[in-house]
Amino acid sequence: MGSYSSNYLRLLAYTKRLTHHVNQGRHHQALSLFHEIHSSLSLSLDPFIFPLALKSCAFLHCPLLGSSIHGLTLKSSFITNPFVACGLVDMYGKCVSVSSARQLFDEMSVRNVVVWNSMISLYTHSKNMQNAFQLFETMDESPNVSTFNTIIMGFLEIEGELFDALAFYRQMWDRNLKPNLITVLALLRACVGIAALDLIKEIHGYSIRLDIDPHPHLRSGLVEAYGRCGCLSEAHLVFESMEEKDVVAWSSFISAYALHGMAKKALEIFEQMEIANVKPDEITFLAVLKACSHAGLADEARMYFSRMQNYYGIEANSDHYACLVDVLSRTGRLYEAYEVLKGMKIEATAKAWGALLGACRTYGEVELAEVAGRALFEIEPENPANYVLLARIYASKERYEEAEKVTKEMKERGVKAAPGSSWVIKQS
């Protein structure tokens, strides 16, 4: 009896250590510990050990080890445990193939709603919503909130499927299932995508009734959603109601005003953020730079760009550079924008070069337009807008020969003009 108790306590301690490794993302250590547990204990393994090991296998993409653990679950008669079953389905889906996971799923004699959710999740993560929906329709267990959340978030990952996500939200109510925080956060993304202000207000009201409204992630999401829909007064009220405002909340609030061209207010909020000793991140500075760009505040943009890197130690990404190039180009500082592009530590994007090319047309700058146009031809060779724009810039300066060369090159590359575009024809 004493030996059994000692072994049980050792297994309990091992399980706690294993759980800690997995939760902290130390998957190599987790699998080493699993091997140690399996090798040293005479007592039968606890079923909760297996899902943890399988999670690490899935993360590290170890199909052979995962298959060996599968064999151990069969030997230990744990295959019917729903947590073990979930771990196996998830591991095969991520390490081998979704079809392998489905085969295992179909062979299971006992499947609870958690196992069904695991299989549906694999389909949604692979953006196979047809199979996910078909599996949902054939469930012999009542779907729960997690089932609906999985489907909703799957639809949100596919362009043009926002209304399907909202339809599933309505189905939850029809089945008397109460949406939770995960549901609400996902739906706010959908609302932002379609500017559904009425639905945002509905979700906000529901979250208050369910008492999930105080959650900081939800309030930050509401600030962003209201802001993107142009309801700045509501965004302000939600922001001010937050007891603790983190960097996400501040960034969302700055973005709300930046998006609608209220640069002065956006920059004032940023100053308040610094006074509150909340450290901005790269998303905060992107919002600040966008505010500067919309208002044509080139000097301010340069100052914030420098402050971001030199004071806060945040490396500029392609979006930061694109904003800086955009504001410099808009204000006619084309060669300054070009110097920024040449000095980038990362590869310039089509967005950045496109901002310069567009400004070259506005300011009649042909030489830089040619440089920007050639860069864009390399980055996105099948985009007809770049060829048409460069040709028009040449034509605007009566350089028809160069314009025709661009349109000829466009034809030779097999690029077709977008609807509404016209070919440049040499004037006689």
Kindly state the tokens that stand for 47. 């079923």
pLDDT at 173: 87
Max CA separation in the chain (angstroms):
105
Inter-CA distances, 85 with 47, 106, 207, 411, Å: 10, 12, 34, 56
CA 397, chain centre distance (Å): 43
- CATH 1.25.40.10: which residues of the chain? 316-428
- Residue 140 is given by DSSP the state S
**Is 75 within 8 Å of 44 (Cβ atoms)?**
no
Dihedral sign, Cα of residue 39, residue 43, residue 45, residue 49: negative
pLDDT digits 0-9 by tens, 217-249: 889 989 989 998 889 999 999 999 998 899 999
The model's pTM is 0.75
Taking only Cα atoms into account, the Rg of the chain, rounded to an integer number of angstroms, comes to 28
pLDDT digits 0-9 by tens, 324-347: 999 999 999 999 999 999 999 899
pLDDT at 50: 92
Homologous superfamily of 316-428: Tetratricopeptide repeat domain (1.25.40.10)
Q: Going residue by residue through the chain (428 aa), what tens digit of pLDDT does each one get? A: 445 567 778 888 888 999 999 999 999 999 999 988 888 755 556 788 899 999 999 999 999 999 999 998 888 888 888 889 999 999 999 999 999 999 999 998 888 999 999 999 999 999 999 999 999 999 999 999 999 999 999 998 887 677 888 888 889 989 999 888 899 888 887 777 677 788 889 889 988 888 887 788 889 989 989 998 889 999 999 999 998 899 999 999 999 999 998 999 999 999 999 999 999 999 999 999 999 999 999 999 999 999 999 999 999 999 999 999 999 999 999 999 999 999 998 999 999 999 999 999 999 999 999 999 999 999 998 899 999 999 999 999 889 899 999 888 888 888 876 554 444 444 43
* Residue at token pair 């450290």: 279
Q: What whole-number percentage of the chain has pLDDT above 90?
A: 62
pLDDT at 426: 45
Q: Measured between alpha carbons, how far is 155 from 191 in angstroms, rounded to an integer? A: 13
Q: Measured between alpha carbons, how far is 345 from 322 in angstroms, rounded to an integer? A: 13
pLDDT at 43: 54
